[in-house]
A and B are shown apart, each in its own frame.
Chain A
Amino acid sequence: MSDSAHALPDSDRVLPEHPPVTDWVHDFDHTDPRWIEDPFPIWDELRATCPVVHTKRFQGCYLPTSYQAVKQIAHDTEHFSSRRIIVRDERPEIQKNAAPPITSDPPEHKSAKQLLLPPFTPDAMKKLEPRVRAICNELIDEFISDGQCDAAARYTKHVPVRTICHMLGIPEKDGDLFINWIHMILELSIKDEGMLKQAVQEMTAYFAAHIEERKQRPSDDLITTLMRAKGKDGQPLDDTHVLGSLRLLLIAGIDTTWSAIGASLWHLAKTPADRERLVSEPELMPTAVEELLRAYSPVTMAREVMKETTIAGCPVKPGNMVLLSFPAANRDPAVFPDAGKIVLDRKSNPHAAFGLGIHRCIGSNLARMEMTVALQEWLKRIPNFWLDPAGKVTWSEGTVRGPRQLPILFEKAT
């Protein structure tokens, strides 16, 4: 197993230190160890103070904390651009076709998104489901006899990696490469721009080879679909667009779902009542998945302020970034009663885990299917599990939040 070689080191060892935060309202920092470990009380405190707070860190950045403020920004593509979608210490140069459509604004956004939507509909996901179920069981087979595992390294990470490889038509064994690139792009690059460049170069070279191969021998995979797609001018997409979208599918398709499945297992491991309820009432799975997505939404996006405007009564000025915290919005008690409580059969749950507005996550149906299948197969074979008191749960930092080490002890189903 090569997991240990790729295990993500503790964030405080790899990242240069930012000064510790003492005043969250005027100086927030989403890379602060307190935020990484337990952001929920911070968001509650900030939300009670102001719907939009600001920090001078990251060359200036706002944080909307209420559902309403997050929604208003997500819907406002006139004042807020998606050309930069990660809040970093530096502002890397804008690349054309960085990762369309997530980095696209209107009017280019719509056509770039539409060509990616058909392969990700709920019906398309149903066809993929048997392969995902098999992947889950192959993974569980590897550690079921051990009575313990790091569920993040042995299970939750590999489900989305192998699934997206399967969809793209690339070898599932290349997954470790992707995990490393994603770590460089989403985490290390916040404070080291060189990491971003290196990872993007390596990914581009990798996919360029796969594109060339398909020019000779087309396949029925997602890479071929993208190569055959036509842009809004009726012409095939240029290679930089295809490469950008492939980068997006890989980056967005892995870390995020890894985190969502991991946070769900973490919750169930430490909450026996919910675990037992989900085992004895499997029909609750659809609402449980939505509730776990709401309560532990992994993805925080970003926008760049292009024109001065007002959000929830607060002035917002160009030159600043916006940390668009869908996770914080989903904990807003104004929209979700008992927002801090996990209610597996929550009836009204219009959560924003997959974003709001035109940038709604393309892979939301894929993520839901993977989460559902990964939890179902786990609970079938490992209905009784708990956090290993001798181990330590660690969380990723930055744009995507989820457990990166999840030591679990378990009993096999009898």
Chain B
Amino acid sequence: MSATLKVHVDPDKCQGHARCKALAPELFDLDEYGNAHEHGDGRVPAGLEDKAWLAKANCPEIAIDVIEE
């Protein structure tokens, strides 16, 4: 039984590289300036865990947290 994951984008760190949106479009949304935030409450649906970690690993600003609940 694996833990539930949540993603969170730190808005002060995000600079709008949009790598997370490209890699995990289900987990992130972009605002009108192209800056990212987590989709909904950030909860990662089962099966998308790898995408959450991938988004974190590719964020050049280290703006993404993946939290295990």
Contacts and interface: CB of A to CB of B under 8 A. Distances in A.
Given A352-B60, A356-B60, A122 B18 contact: yes
B69 interface: no
A310 interface: no
B15 A356 contact: yes
Nearest to A115: B33
Contacts of B22: 122, 286
Given A122-B21, A347-B54, A365 B15 contact: no
A114 interface: yes
27 contacts: A114-B33, A117-B32, A117-B34, A118-B32, A118-B34, A121-B18, A122-B34, A123-B30, A290-B19, A290-B58, A347-B57, A348-B57, A349-B58, A350-B19, A350-B57, A350-B58, A351-B60, A352-B60, A354-B60, A356-B15, A357-B15, A358-B15, A364-B16, A364-B17, A364-B18, A365-B18, A365-B34
A360 interface: yes
Contacts of B34: 117-118, 120-122, 365
Nearest to A348: B57
Interface string A336-369: 0000000000011111101011101000110000
B15 A360 contact: yes
A164 B2 CA distance: 48
A117 B57 contact: no
Interface in A77-128: 114, 117-118, 120-123
Nearest to B23: A286
A122 B33 CA distance: 10
Contacts, number: 53
Contacts of A117: 16, 32-34
A350 B59 contact: yes
Contacts of B16: 117, 360, 364
A351 B57 CA distance: 10
Interface in A20-70: none
A237 to B, nearest CB: 17
Interface string B53-66: 01001111110000
Chain A to chain B: the 8 pairs with minimum beta-carbon distance, closest first: A360-B15, A348-B57, A117-B33, A121-B34, A350-B60, A118-B32, A350-B58, A117-B34
A356 B19 CA distance: 13
Interface in B19-62: 19, 21-22, 30, 32-34, 54, 57-62
Contacts of A290: 19, 58
Nearest to A121: B34
B33 A121 contact: yes
A123 B19 CA distance: 14
Nearest to B60: A350
Given A122-B21, A347-B57, 14 more contacts: A114-B33, A117-B34, A118-B32, A118-B34, A120-B34, A121-B18, A121-B30, A122-B18, A290-B19, A347-B54, A349-B57, A350-B59, A358-B15, A364-B17
A348 to B, nearest CB: 4
Contacts of A357: 15, 61
Nearest to B31: A121
Interface string A123-154: 10000000000000000000000000000000
A354 B22 CA distance: 15
Given A349-B58, A352-B60, A121 B17 contact: no
A290 B22 CA distance: 11
A369 to B, nearest CB: 11
Contacts of A114: 33
Contacts of A118: 32-34
Interface in A316-342: none
A357 B18 CA distance: 13
A120 B58 CA distance: 21
A357 B16 CA distance: 10
Contacts of B62: 350
Nearest to A326: B60
A390 to B, nearest CB: 40
